[in-house]
Amino acid sequence: MIDVMTADVVKDSTQYPVLRNLQFSPIKEGDDQLIVLWDPSGLSNEKLVLPLNFFFIVQHFDGEHSLREIGALYLKRFGEFLLPDKVEHLVVDLDRKLFLEGPRAETARQQAQIDYRQRPSRPAVFAGRSYEADGAKLRKQLDGFFTSGEGPDFKPSEHRGQLIKGLVTPTYDLKHAGPVYAWGYKELQECRQPDVYILIGTAHAGLENLFAVTDKDFETALGVVPVNRPIMNRLKAAAPEFFEEDIAHLSEHAIEFQMPFLQTVIGKPFTIVPILSSFSALSLNDPTVRSSVDRFLCALRATIDASGESVCVIAAGELAHLGLRYGDSAPPTDFSFHRSMQRDLEMLKQVEELRPEGFAQYIQKESDQRRISGFSPIYSLLRLIQAEKGQVLRYDRGITDQYNSTVTYASMAFF
């Protein structure tokens, strides 16, 4: 009798290509609609502009469709044959740009990890792009966010002198959303400030382990912000797997955008614990995801308690994502935006009332159709802080492309 062993067949990646977790956006050039692809993880700095028929092809680079099968789908969709050499050339180009999973991307990923871990600190990657790189100009820019017509007024906060427990802030480009950040950081400026800030930001490129902690200090044009070494060491001993994807911090802006505000409004030395997170409300229905989230948050909560430090948790993330860029079939209208705004504010009631599971359930009931990218940091904040109330301070939106694709965001404070 012969035992037959079954195993998963390893598919040839040249015939079954797998596109990495890229972002895309529709753009117009004259009368032509094109799609631009880029890598949010920063492993590749390339961009690729594709006509719609080629974008159709790469959407099927999922490891399940062979090039021959994609050619058949292309014929059915466009009524013309897809020449094999065109597809093969596209595969080679994508692989060269590190847009495909495979040996080339894996080698680059490993080298990038080594390089990052050898750095003395995490550099200010977005300085000079999303905000001023010169210290004096940056301070002037930040002052402008507070004093602009969209920023907070000079009336003292009703919470002045109270110990602040948490903030929700945007991660949107500072040049556009700076005044909304300022609403949250004005509360921090006027309140009794703790010494440690747990920063949890959205990992826009995604994470295998759902959370990623880095032990690097953060550089800015205003100086270096140190991490809290005792908390970091305890957390690493309790949950080491959540330090494995530390390189995700290098190209992620969510936490970097908070640094200049913290350095400006906090009037004493402070330390940070920088964390990225990436899981959706829907994914919490998966027991494996739920278990991993619980493990990390329980370890972090125990670490904070053992430290004896008073902390403020800052959740950096955005709310709804509407329009063609985010997978909708049509651009948002004024009506659809205002309907989404009403839903955002209803959803944030759960956050104000410190109900993490109610927050998750609200999004689950919508099937996350509005793609709440800041869910994971905000949910984590609600699980961690010990506060009595939260308050929405300011709400706004940003337009992200020529088709009116829209991102919404808010500032909140917790006491």
| Six token digits for residue 141 | 């820019």
Q: pTM for this one?
A: 0.91
Between CA 111 and CA 116 the distance in angstroms is 9
Fold held by 123-414? Protocatechuate 4,5-dioxygenase; Chain B (3.40.830)
- CB atoms under 10 Å from CB of 55, counted, come to 18
Between CA 391 and CA 415 the distance in angstroms is 9
pLDDT at site 312: 97
pLDDT at site 332: 94
State the Cα angle at 242 between 218 and 315, rounded to 5°. Answer: 55
Q: Which residues pair with residue 166 across a beta bridge?
A: 313, 414
pLDDT at site 9: 55
Domain boundaries, the chain: 23-110, 123-414
| Six token digits for residue 151 | 């920023």
| 369-372, long-range: CB < 8 A, 24+ apart | 370/319, 370/320, 370/321, 370/322, 370/340, 370/343, 370/344, 371/320, 371/321, 371/326, 371/327, 372/280, 372/281, 372/319, 372/320, 372/347
Which segments within 133-283 are labelled E, that is strand? 166-169, 196-202, 211-213, 217-220, 223-225, 271-277
Query: Which residues are within 8 A (CB) of 20 and not within 5 positions of it... i.e. 6 or more apart?
Result: 39, 41, 43, 98, 99, 100, 101, 105
Query: Which residues are within 8 A (CB) of 359 and not within 5 positions of it... i.e. 6 or more apart?
Result: 281, 347, 350, 351, 375, 378, 379, 382
Low-confidence ranges of the chain (pLDDT < 50): 1-7
| Six token digits for residue 253 | 């802006």
Between CA 200 and CA 381 the distance in angstroms is 8
| Six token digits for residue 116 | 């990052």
pLDDT at site 10: 62
